[in-house]
Amino acid sequence: MDLLDKFDHIVQQRASLPFENIDPFTVVIEEILSETEAVIGGRKTILAGTNNYMGMTFNEDALNAAKHALETQGTGTTGSRVLNGTYSGHKNLEKTIAEFYDQAHCMVFSTGYQANLGMISTLAGKDDFVIIDADSHASIYDGCALGNASTVRFKHNNIDHMERRLKRLPEDAGKLLVVEGIYSMIGDTAPLKEMLAIAKNYGCTTLVDEAHSMGYCGEHGRGIAEQQGVEHLVDYTVGTFSKSVGTVGGFCVSNNPKFDILRYACRPYVFTASLPPSVIAGAMEAVRSFSRSGNRMAHLWGNANRLHGGLKNAGFNLATESAESPIIAVNLPDMMVATHFWEQLMLEGVYVNMAVPPATPVGINLMRVSICAQHTSEQIDQIIERFIRTAKKIGLELN
């Protein structure tokens, strides 16, 4: 038996999708023109599926800092944080993020995925319970598996179901509630205020993943917990640099006085090479710029509301009643329709994410649009117009 035989069903599913010229899972961006445009397949294309929410990938301060670090400190550290992989820049970035979140401690990871993997697997072990939303990111599920804790799932954003699950757990057991501020596929917001209050009543430690809400939610851009006024109920906040910060990496912040023991106990942190100096320097300047990004934040929300309203008025079936984030998800009837729609939209010069099971719940097939603060109003209107044209070309009936 070939060990890859177990993936034959995935091969068959992909082969059944009626793509004619373009495959959404093998897209190559040939040339980056700006935060919002690129050349794909020889065509100038509006980028509306990059998670570059705050448009920081070409931030001048971040670029200059990254260039200077590259020239003076080289291309990489060639070591983990507990060996030779901690430079002064890493400590300065951790200090910057801790101050941004008004927390005492911060650890920087090499990816956001590793931040969840490391924190969850280290905090919750064999005899503990991790309580998670059923629609949690793969990194959360994998963190549960790596730590060998018992995983308890509740229905997506369902407060009552979460509490029923908590009631069944041993009162004296170690319990970790893990929720996301904004969920990446649909772009909907978690009811953190209610969830965290209930979790604390049942003795849970709480971890909130603000990967998709950092930068534009809350007065300072710290995420949904800040927006809903419940930061004091969060024990650990995890985030990423690969969305609003515009680079790569992850982090966790906390006020727990024992936090630094995680630097020796967290395997994904201990055994992974640290981020290159250029990435560290660029991320630090991007995070600092959030305090000066009021106009960007307002423009981003304006773009999200404009797009959501335009698509809704055109008759598309949207996953949320209003724009809860810069992620606007358009529901399509099935995977075949989604395939045709995505390919035709690419031919119209708009790149979005085709999101289908298992990345989404069973039966949910989406065109996932993520808007950037640097999109112009004209580009938002062009996206709406091209969605409408695409629907007409493939015969999709709008409401």
* Token pair in block for residue 55: 């448009």
Q: What is the pLDDT of residues 130-174, one digit of tens each?
A: 999 999 999 999 999 999 999 999 999 999 999 999 999 999 999
Q: Which of 150, 152, 121 is nearest to 136 (CA)?
A: 152
What total number of domains does the chain contain?
2
189 domain-assigned: yes
Distance CA 399, CA 397 (A): 7
Residues 6+ apart with CB under 8 A from 325: 182, 187, 188, 189, 212, 213, 217, 304
Query: What pLDDT, on a 0 to 100 scale, did the predictor assign at position 231?
Result: 98
Domain end point (choices 269, 291, 313): 291
* Token pair in block for residue 381: 């209107």
Domain end point (choices 247, 267, 291): 291
Domain co-membership, 126 together with 179: yes
Domain co-membership, 66 together with 186: yes
Domain co-membership, 50 together with 73: no
Domain co-membership, 286 together with 151: yes
Task: Specify the residue for token string 């209930």.
Answer: 198
Residues 6+ apart with CB under 8 A from 170: none
2 domain-assigned: no
Residues 6+ apart with CB under 8 A from 334: 365
Separation of CA 32 from chain center: 21
| Cis status, amide bond into 361, omega within 30 of 0 | no
256 domain-assigned: yes
Domain co-membership, 273 together with 323: no
168 domain-assigned: yes
State which residues form the domain around 69: 60-291
Domain co-membership, 211 together with 90: yes
Domain co-membership, 318 together with 191: no
* Inter-residue contact 329 to 359 (CB < 8 Å): no
Domain co-membership, 21 together with 128: no
Give the up-direction half-sphere exposure of residue 270: CA atoms within 13 A in the CB hemisphere.
10
Q: How confident is the model at residue 87 (pLDDT cuts 50, 70, 90)?
A: very high
- Inter-CA distances, 79 with 82, 105, 275, Å: 8, 22, 9
Task: Specify the residue for token string 């200090």.
Answer: 95
297 domain-assigned: yes
C-beta neighbour count of 55 within 10 angstroms: 23
Domain co-membership, 99 together with 170: yes
Q: How confident is the model at residue 283 (pLDDT cuts 50, 70, 90)?
A: very high
**Mean pLDDT calculated for residue range 71-87:** 97
Distance CA 11, CA 125 (A): 35
Domain co-membership, 378 together with 253: no
Q: What is the pLDDT of residues 323-335, one digit of tens each?
A: 999 999 999 999 9
Give the up-direction half-sphere exposure of residue 110: CA atoms within 13 A in the CB hemisphere.
19
Pick the range with the lowest mean pLDDT from 2-16, 38-52, 176-190, 275-289: 2-16
Task: Specify the residue for token string 């960007």.
Answer: 296
399 domain-assigned: no
Put residue 386 in one of left, alpha, beta given phi > 0 → left and psi -120 to 50 → alpha: alpha
Q: What is the DSSP string of 97-110?
A: HHHHTT-SEEEEES
Is residue 384's pLDDT more than 90? yes
**Mean pLDDT calculated for residue range 191-195:** 98
Q: How confident is the model at residue 10 (pLDDT cuts 50, 70, 90)?
A: confident
Is residue 266's pLDDT more than 90? yes
Query: What pLDDT, on a 0 to 100 scale, did the predictor assign at position 142?
Result: 97
CATH assignment of the domain containing 337: 3.90.1150.10
1 domain-assigned: no
Domain co-membership, 48 together with 129: no
**Mean pLDDT calculated for residue range 312-316:** 98
Domain end point (choices 291, 326, 355): 291
What does the buried/exposed string (b/e) look like for 173-195 if buried means 16 or more CB atoms within 10 Å of the residue's CB? ebbbbbbbbbbbbbbbbbebbbb
Kindly tell me the sign of the dihedral angle through the C-alpha atoms of 135, 138, 141, 144.
Answer: negative
Domain co-membership, 245 together with 259: yes
Beta strand extents in the chain (DSSP E only): 29-32, 37-40, 43-47, 105-109, 129-133, 150-154, 175-180, 205-209, 236-240, 250-254, 317-318, 327-332, 350-351, 353-355, 365-370
251 domain-assigned: yes
Q: Which of 144, 364, 380, 108 is nearest to 245 (CA)?
A: 108
Residue type, 65: A
Give strand pairing partners of 189. 182
CATH assignment of the domain containing 79: 3.40.640.10
Is residue 361's pLDDT more than 90? no
